[in-house]
Structure formats: structure tokens, C-alpha cells
């Protein structure tokens, strides 16, 4: 992504954090990641995030999603003796729709990204508004999407090993973030 688009995306993410009354230090603002999953369509499939801590025991992050932005379907598999990441999503601002394995919800509210529909396979819908949370067990297929105004979600989890996440869409590259050069 060219520098101007990266700066614009980061500005929108910081605006969402501000709307949620989440204060970030200057250092944290500099460390905000703009992730497009290698798909080159950040505003449709992507997210902004800042990681507060990721240790051998636990992880804490803030996630920001633009209106209707989607984090693609994935799971956190076992890594060595570690059973995989258990994560709790707590909605802080806006509304986020979380999709999990299980009995599909009739008439889901999500807008599945055009060109990627075959890579979304789980449709049990859980809608989270500020103050609501959901814990996802390890190795559970899931994806999530912000509603009309966007969303800010706090993620509390066991150690995050993003490089081992398994995405349903084989085109996805998780670790590289948008270039700002």
C-alpha cells in the first residue's frame, strides 16, 4: 500500500480508538498495525490493532474495524505443547458480529466480502455491543465483522502466535503488515 493510504488508514484507526475513549501513548500510536492480510483490500478485509503485551502467558490487544470491515475466517491451532490461543473479545465501541462454528444463524447480518465468499464457512452469529464479550476456545474457526459505524474490540488471550494462525483463504499472509514506505 502506498504511504498516503497507509497514513489515511492509520488515522481512521486512531479515530476509532479515540471514539472508544481508549487512550494510547505516543509509542503505542506509533506501533499501531494496519493489517490487510496480503489481500490488498484493507477497507474490506483487514483490521487495525495495537498490542499492549504478548508474553509466554498472555496477550492483550485493541482491535479497530472500519464500517463493515472483516477479519477473515481463521483458527488458532495447537503449537507444540500449547493447545492454541484462547481469546476473549470484549466490545468497547460500536458493534461487532462474530461468526463461529456451530449451528448456522438464519439470515446473518454480515456482508461477506465479494470475491472471498467461498472462504467463509462458519455462520453461527454472535452480535456484541459495548460491554458484551465472548470467549473463543483454541482451534475454533471464526471470523468477525464490524457493523455500520465500525467497532473497537479488546482482545484478551493466551499467548498470540499469529504466524501459526490458519486461514481458510489460502491467499492470506498474516504477518506482513501494510508497508508505509
Q: Domain span at residue 60?
A: 3-167
pLDDT per position as a tens digit, 45-94: 999 999 999 999 999 999 999 999 999 999 999 999 999 999 999 999 99
Q: State the pLDDT at residue 181.
A: 41
Q: Is 65 exposed, middle or buried (0-12, 13-18, 19+ CB in 10 A)?
A: buried
Please check whether residue 73 lies inside any domain of the structure. yes
Q: Give Dmax (Cα) for the chain.
A: 44
Please check whether residue 16 lies inside any domain of the structure. yes
Please check whether residue 180 lies inside any domain of the structure. no
Given a contact cutoff of 8 angstroms between Cβ atoms, the answer to whether 45 and 72 are in contact is yes
Element (H, E) at 63: strand 59-65
Q: Per-residue pLDDT for the chain (181 aa), expressed as one digit of tens each?
A: 567 888 999 999 999 999 999 999 999 999 999 999 999 999 999 999 999 999 999 999 999 999 999 999 999 999 999 999 999 999 999 999 999 999 999 999 999 999 999 999 999 999 999 999 999 999 999 999 999 999 999 999 999 998 999 999 999 987 655 544 4
Number of domain units in the chain: 1
CATH number reported for the structural domain that contains residue 111 in this entry: 2.60.120.10
Which H, E and C letters describe 8-72, residue by residue?
Answer: HHHHHHHHHHHHCCCCCCHHHHHCCEEECCCCCCCCCECEEEEEEEECCCCEEEEEEECCCCEEE
Amino acid at each position: 500500500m502506498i504511504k498516503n493510504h497507509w497514513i489515511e488508514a492509520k488515522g481512521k484507526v486512531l479515530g476509532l480508538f479515540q471514539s472508544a475513549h481508549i487512550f494510547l501513548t505516543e509509542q503505542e500510536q506509533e506501533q499501531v498495525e494496519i493489517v490487510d492480510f496480503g489481500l490488498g483490500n484493507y477497507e474490506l478485509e483487514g483490521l487495525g490493532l495495537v498490542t499492549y503485551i504478548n508474553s509466554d502467558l498472555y496477550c492483550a490487544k485493541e482491535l479497530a474495524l472500519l464500517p463493515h470491515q472483516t477479519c477473515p475466517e481463521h483458527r488458532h491451532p495447537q503449537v507444540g505443547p500449547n493447545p492454541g490461543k484462547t481469546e476473549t473479545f470484549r466490545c468497547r465501541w460500536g458493534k461487532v458480529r462474530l461468526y463461529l462454528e456451530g449451528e448456522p444463524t438464519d439470515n446473518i447480518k454480515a456482508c461477506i466480502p465479494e470475491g472471498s465468499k467461498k472462504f467463509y464457512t462458519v455462520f453461527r452469529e454472535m452480535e456484541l455491543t459495548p460491554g458484551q464479550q465472548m470467549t473463543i476456545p483454541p482451534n475454533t474457526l471464526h471470523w468477525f465483522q464490524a457493523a455500520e459505524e465500525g467497532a473497537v474490540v479488546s482482545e484478551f488471550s493466551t499467548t498470540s502466535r499469529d504466524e501459526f494462525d490458519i486461514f481458510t483463504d489460502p491467499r492470506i499472509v498474516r504477518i506482513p503488515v501494510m508497508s508505509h514506505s
